[in-house]
Amino acid sequence: MSKPLLQVRDLVQKIGSQEILKGMNLDIYDGETLVLLGKSGGGKSVFLRHLIGLMRPVSGSILFEGEDITKLKERQLEPVRRKIGMLFQDGALFDSMNVFDNVAFPLRERGERNPAIIHQKVEESLARVNMRGHEKKMPVNLSGGMRKRVALARAIISPPNVILYDEPTAGLDPIVSDSINKLIRRLQAELRVTSVVVTHDMVSCNHIADRVALLNEGRIYFIGSTEDLHTNSDPTIRDFVDGRSGETIY
Amino acid sequence: MPLIGIFSNLYISFLSFLGQVAMLAGETILSIFCGRIRLRLVIQQIAEIGFGSQLVVIVTGAFTGAVFTAQAYFQFASLNMETAVGPVVALSMFRELGPVLTGVMVAGRVGAAMSAEIGTMKVSQQIDALRALAVNPVDYLVVPRALAMFVSMPFLVVECVGCGILASYYVGVNVLNISGVYFLANTQKFADSSDIIMALVKGFFFAGIIVFISCREGLRAKDGAVGVGRATTQTVVNCSLAILIVNFFLTMALNIIFPAG
């Protein structure tokens, strides 16, 4: 395996008095798709936000290409963020712009002024996520799956080195979820990006993961392949994989 | 002890509020001079703030001038000083009513809208999306609004004052039968360029108050729709109070620079 692109060391985060991450350690390798599993409210999304500098840890470090991004100021993070794309849980499309302008936004902000080039790149990006023909629609008129596709088109228009997915299949029906899973897999193959996917959807995990990590009680409890996950007999892992809560009905 | 605790908490909150507004203002000014200005957004905001506020400013100015003229006339008529109505209204409109009323009306219309728009972006993760796309929210959201506000506000103040004086002249001369010649002559005699400068300076300061408080409230919004509503209400209340308080200190300071009479 290649060297780690992202190295997370002893990451601690508190929200109020609650410790969400309790010294998390994780290596993410160049070109892999790592799926981070864990209970709802367990700190998966919080962790993902640290990888792009949207949250600052209480302590610990995150090395990206050898640089500790937790030490960088907001404006110093901008070059890092140009290399990392993020798909938010509900897409986070700009609701004052139509689909075309949303996808063109990163290009325009990075100084591209030629309308022909912008048009060509937006069309290419929308074609990658099967959203051509919807350019003039406003985000409010899109379904959940379509919003995620457009947000993904926006994230990949200037191809990043890493894509972070926050619950990409949450709230979607199984068919749309499957199409999003295939899309993630296809983008990984076409763009050769490193992907970090936060989810609690086991179907999605089985479909897209090169490696799986399980976040439990603020720490990485398990890391390995999907086969290792399914054959592991640890009760905590089994409860999560088999979907058992441990609570009794009466 | 609990009372001391409440007051100390209020004091700390107030200082924290001032600090956050000042830091946002500092970051915005730094960004204006060192960053990229998005002219298209500035023009959009000028249209929203400047042109969008026309009706409210004209109506406010005109009816304030008209009602102030009527009240002043009823008081001055018993002293045979009807012709003093013109300069009294003009000076009041220039030095106090024009800038303050414009500030309060713009805070209610534009400040609340700014706060709601930015607050909605905050709670729906659009501001996180901006940051994730390597775009600084202050550069993209606050700078264009600040520039547009600083450009628009002096014009709006002048418009409010102008409408107030025109309405005053109309009501005074055509309704209350004050001599038009004396009305104009006395107004010109007592009002001069220092009054116009005072109105513009106040308008400039109020523009800063409105834009930085509104954007601060929007950027700090949390807890979904309830949080956006809270931020919007706080914006209107804080802007209105700040305008009234700062106006007092501006009046004292500007009267030293431009003494009345």
Contacts of B132 in chain A (CB under 8 A): 52, 54, 81, 84-86, 88
Contact A93 B131 (CB under 8 A): no
What is this structure's pTM?
A: 0.88
Predicted confidence at residue A35, as pLDDT, reads 93
Alpha-carbon gap, residue B185 to A1, rounded angstroms: 90
- The minimal CB distance from B136 to the residues A53, A75, A106 is found for A75
Interface pTM (ipTM) of the complex? 0.89
Residues A221-239: tens digit of each pLDDT: 889 888 888 888 888 888 8
* Confidence grade of residue A250 (pLDDT, cut at 50, 70, 90): low
Q: Are A158 and A84 in contact (CB under 8 A)?
A: no
Predicted confidence at residue A246, as pLDDT, reads 63
Closest CA to B234 of B120, B126, B108, B99: B108
Q: How many CB pairs below 8 Å do chains A and B form together?
A: 51
How close B124 comes to chain A (CA, Å)?
6
Determine the residue among B118, B133, B139 to mutate to test chain A binding: the one whose Cβ has the most chain A Cβ atoms within 10 Å.
Answer: B133
Contact A81 B126 (CB under 8 A): no
Q: Are A36 and A47 in contact (CB under 8 A)?
A: yes
Sequence letter at residue A222: F
B241 touches chain A (CB under 8 A): no
| CB count in 10 Å sphere of residue A225 | 12
Which structure tokens are listed for B133? 């796309």
Strand A33-38 to A84-87 pairing? unpaired
pLDDT above 80: residue A174? yes
Residues A49-70: tens digit of each pLDDT: 999 999 999 999 999 988 999 9
Residue of A nearest to B124 (CA): A92
Closest CA to B72 of B158, B186, B157, B159: B186
Which structure tokens are listed for B40? 């298209």
Place of tokens 């350019």: A135
Q: Is A128 helix (H, G, I), strand (E, B) or coil?
A: helix
Contact B132 A85 (CB under 8 A): yes
Q: Are B114 and B214 in contact (CB under 8 A)?
A: yes
Contacts of B120 in chain A (CB under 8 A): 95
How close A106 comes to chain B (CA, Å)?
6
% of chain A residues with pLDDT over 70: 97
Q: Is A11 helix (H, G, I), strand (E, B) or coil?
A: strand
pLDDT above 90: residue A168? no
Give me the sign of the Cα torsion angle B72, B73, B79, B83: positive
Q: Are A81 and B134 in contact (CB under 8 A)?
A: yes
Contact B136 A74 (CB under 8 A): yes
Residue of B nearest to A111 (CA): B36
Residue of B nearest to A94 (CA): B126
Residues A21-47: tens digit of each pLDDT: 999 999 999 889 999 998 888 889 999
Predicted confidence at residue A2, as pLDDT, reads 67
How close B120 comes to chain A (CA, Å)?
10
Residue of A nearest to B117 (CA): A96
Instruction: Flag residues of chain B having pLDDT under 70.
Output: 1, 260-261
Closest CA to B246 of B100, B28, B102, B98: B100
Predicted confidence at residue B35, as pLDDT, reads 82
pLDDT above 60: residue A1? no
pLDDT above 80: residue A247? no
Q: A1-79+208-250: CATH homologous superfamily? A: P-loop containing nucleotide triphosphate hydrolases (3.40.50.300)
How close B107 comes to chain A (CA, Å)?
22
Give residue A61's region: left, alpha or beta (phi > 0; psi -120 to 50).
beta
Least confident of A25-29, A137-141, A173-177, B45-49: A173-177
Sequence letter at residue A177: S
Mean of the per-residue pLDDT values of chain A: 89
Alpha-carbon gap, residue B234 to B199, rounded angstroms: 26
The 3-class SS string of chain B reads CHHHHHHHHHHHHHHHHHHHHHHHHHHHHHHHHHCCCCHHHHHHHHHHHHHCCHHHHHHHHHHHHHHHHHHHHHHHHCCCCHHHHHHHHHHHHHHHHHHHHHHHHHHHHHHHHHHHHHHHHHHCCHHHHHHHCCCCHHHHHHHHHHHHHHHHHHHHHHHHHHHHHHHHHHHHHHHCCCCHHHHHHHHHHHCCHHHHHHHHHHHHHHHHHHHHHHHHHHHCCCCHHHHHHHHHHHHHHHHHHHHHHHHHHHHHHHHHHCCCC
Alpha-carbon gap, residue A229 to B20, rounded angstroms: 48
Determine the residue among B125, B130, B139, B140 to mutate to test chain A binding: the one whose Cβ has the most chain A Cβ atoms within 10 Å.
Answer: B125
Which structure tokens are listed for A120? 């060509």
Predicted confidence at residue A248, as pLDDT, reads 61
Residue of A nearest to B120 (CA): A95
Predicted confidence at residue A70, as pLDDT, reads 93
pLDDT above 80: residue A243? no
